[in-house]
Amino acid sequence: MIQRTFWKGYLKLSLVTCPVAMMPAHSESEKVRFHTLNRRTGHRIQSRFVDAVTGKPVADVDEVKGYPKGDDDYVMLEEDEFDAVALDSTRTIDIEVFAPRSSVGWIWYDTPHYLVPDGKIGDEAFSVIREAMKSTRTVGISRLVLYRRERAVLLEPRDKGIVLWTLRYGDEVRDEKDYFAGVEQAKYEPDMRALMEKLVKSRTKNWSPDLVQDPVQDELLAIIKAKEKGRKPVRKTARPASEGNVVSIMDALRRSLEPRK
């Protein structure tokens, strides 16, 4: 199902501008979702905001954002004050710099969106920008206000469109040195690496969405269907964590390369 556009604006590169539309590149609408019920009545349980001191429910009109400045002391910000700091990046993706595609590590990538021209009038400019990035193997870096926050974004050409990724901020990505510094480079036998490479190659396949299916959701749907029909669902027993006592990595590799039964 094609998702409806959730953002419209302009893609700009120097003096070249074109109208564009954006849609989320992923969806969770097909995921199994549950409501929380009262076991005794079967009725749904409602979640409501209540005052932490009085315990009374708070009306929507009385809800306001607060920035903590001390214990139980806040600075309140109204909706019009948030709107007052809206930037040009609210409706314009202005590409000011490009970077080699290979220089941006995957850890910076956050959420993908599909970017397409919004109407025939923008096709030519959109295509020129996309194909220029393809031929130079670069990605565009810009900023855009999404979800009430200005975010760094990366534009990556793909097929006939562009994938726009929101990027994580510098203070959101922890330095890998803090975690990997204590890992020692262990010595291993050359034959061990050869066997490991053989094992990797034997299990290498071309990428397909089928490789990341959700077996838990399939099992939940089977349980739901069985209960709908009044049947008792069949529960599978969990497999043991270990299928045997392997005394060495070399033995484990050799056994792993044996034909699967």
Cα(227)–Cα(232) distance, integer angstroms? 6
C-alpha to C-alpha distance for 167 and 111, rounded to whole angstroms: 7
Angle at 173 between CA 171 and CA 177, to 5 degrees: 110
What phi and psi, each to the nearest 5 degrees, are found at residue 222? -65, -40
Phi/psi at 213 (5° precision): -70, 160
Alpha-carbon torsion, ordered 140, 163, 168, 107, to 10 deg = -100
Structure tokens at 146: 């999404």
Digitized pLDDT (tens) for each residue of the chain, 261 residues in all: 556 778 999 999 988 999 999 998 887 666 778 888 988 898 999 888 999 899 999 998 899 888 888 888 888 888 777 666 655 557 899 998 999 999 999 999 999 999 999 988 889 999 999 999 999 999 999 988 887 678 889 999 999 999 999 998 878 888 888 888 888 888 888 888 888 888 888 878 887 777 767 677 777 777 777 777 777 777 666 555 555 555 687 788 788 888 765
| Triad 138, 139, 140: Cα angle to 5° | 125
Q: What is the DSSP letter of 161?
A: E
Annotate 43-111 with three-state secondary structure. CECCCCCECCCCCCECCHHHCCEEEEEECCEEEEECHHHHHHCCCHHHCEEECCEEEEHHHCCHHHEEE
